[in-house]
Chain A
């Protein structure tokens, strides 16, 4: 996979992409024609030019169509002074109309059945751009052999260090062109150390583990 990234994919990728933050900027400026990003970082492109863009699911791999879903949780800290009002706020945020407003403004998809964009559609005042985005997300979730993947969970305050491991692996393999097996062995060891130190069990799509998640290092 890394060989494919380095030798076949990277040569056709915009070299400035290492520093790209919100893909909607580059899509609108036509510096890229195909971009992958979180749904919250592309809606501007779709809102401004809904007829110029398509929202398509992630590519299908040998194990299926993997995609990441970010679950934004709502919670009340233990010992909070205004528990009743906090519960009212959570109730308000999960009402269908509020969910639709959230979708319309920041492209965060509803978690409530009644607010499903495919059922509400244009009735909810969704712009054509967000509708395109919603259709793409719906197709992705409903695809056969879709593999839902969560963000790394259970790492507590050290979750940010996973970013570093992936970034370093990419930099070392694709940019610095180090030997793939060496880099994977070393960064894999870093990841395993991180999992051991934080005690994080495996998260979906992997089955839950007893004790820290163990990597399969070939």
Chain B
């Protein structure tokens, strides 16, 4: 009786969650994966990937997705680190500051897109304020295809506003796990604040940085609702193309092909993060 309870109990306890994942995640995932490689007649084929490669929106979608990731994720990482360090320093009002910064966690990316659309639209807040102050004569079309740099700026601002909290929460938790003794010892040895951050905090924060980067980058590959609301079809992105192939053009195979591509790219980048940010063994002890 004792042996039975200790050996198989953990597996029995996670069995419901595992079954849930298998039925609602793994099975549909496998099906979607197969749909990408099946012709409408049911044979195995690469025609959908070939068609995806030749599509006029494919290269712009890949380029835009990568551009957004490269611009947004590092910016968010730096900002989240600054906020996390500030909160960690326990200044007066630090908890309130943490909660305020975490508010965007509670809203969907579509809602965030709509909020910033109301700022950048032709008759939005930004134009109204600038016109009211007399700085411009007529509304400036920020979100038009003639100004792609403004489209990107709006998207980046929205994504940074919305998702920095995700990275910040992980880093705050990671900072709390660093024993204060190390920092006190460093201070006694004469290390200034920047030296303490660079030589003590950041190396010990590596596991959290790795987790936060993996999470944020996987989500960034799926950037969709914000781009859809602000730019519509002007800025193709991979998840958006998958959406339009399914909803507008009614071709599940092409949609699945794009989805498989997103999955492969996310897996690749995750593997890269795991290799490059491998924390040293001492930290894991």
Contact A19 B251 (CB under 8 A): no
**Interface members, chain A 174-204 (any B CB < 8 Å):** 175
Residues 222-239 of B contacting A (Cβ, < 8 Å): 231-234
A158 interfacial contact with B, CB 8 Å: yes
Q: How far apart are A8's CB and chain B's nearest CB, in angstroms?
A: 18
- Residue A15 lies at the interface, judged by CB distance under 8 Å to chain B: yes
A69, B195: Cα distance in complex, Å? 73
B199 at the interface (CB under 8 A from A): no
A157 on the interface (CB 8 Å rule)? yes
Determine if A18 is an interface residue (Cβ-Cβ < 8 Å): yes
Q: Does B89 contact A (CB under 8 A)?
A: no
Contact A160 B232 (CB under 8 A): no
B250 lies within 8 A of A19 (CB): no
Name the B residues within 8 Å of A163 (CB-CB). 248-249
CA distance A29 to B124 in the complex (A): 12
Q: Are A164 and B249 in contact (CB under 8 A)?
A: yes
Task: Tell me the minimal C-beta distance from A157 to chain B in angstroms.
Answer: 6
Kindly report which residue of chain B lies nearest to residue A172, judged by CB atoms. Answer: B56
Among the listed A157, A164, A171, which residue makes an inter-chain contact with B248, where contact means beta carbons less than 8 Å apart? A164
Contact with A along B204-233 (1 / 0, CB 8 A): 000000000000000000000000000111
Contact for B250 among A29, A160, A172, A175, CB less than 8 A = A160
* A31, CB-defined interface residue at 8 Å: yes
For A114, the chain B residues whose CB sits under 8 A away are: none
Q: Contacting A175 at CB < 8 Å: which of B122, B145, B248, B251?
A: B145
Taking CB as reference atom, which chain A residue is nearest B123?
A29
Q: How far is the CA of A157 from the CA of B123 in the complex (A)?
A: 40
Residues of A within 8 A of B144 (CB): 15-16
Chain B residues with CB under 8 A of A158: 250-251
Q: Is the CB of B249 within 8 A of A160?
A: yes
Report the separation of the CA atoms of residues A160 and B252 in the bound assembly, to the nearest whole angstrom: 11
**CB < 8 Å neighbour of B141 from A16, A160, A175:** A16
CB distance from B152 to the nearest CB of A (A): 16
**B250 and A18 contact, CB distance less than 8 A:** no
Q: Which B residues form the contact surface with A (CB < 8 A)?
A: 56, 122-123, 141, 143-146, 231-234, 248-251
Q: Can you name 21 A-B pairs with beta carbons within 8 Å?
A: A15-B141, A16-B143, A18-B145, A18-B233, A19-B232, A19-B233, A19-B234, A29-B123, A31-B122, A157-B250, A158-B251, A160-B248, A160-B249, A160-B250, A160-B251, A161-B249, A161-B251, A163-B248, A164-B249, A172-B56, A175-B145
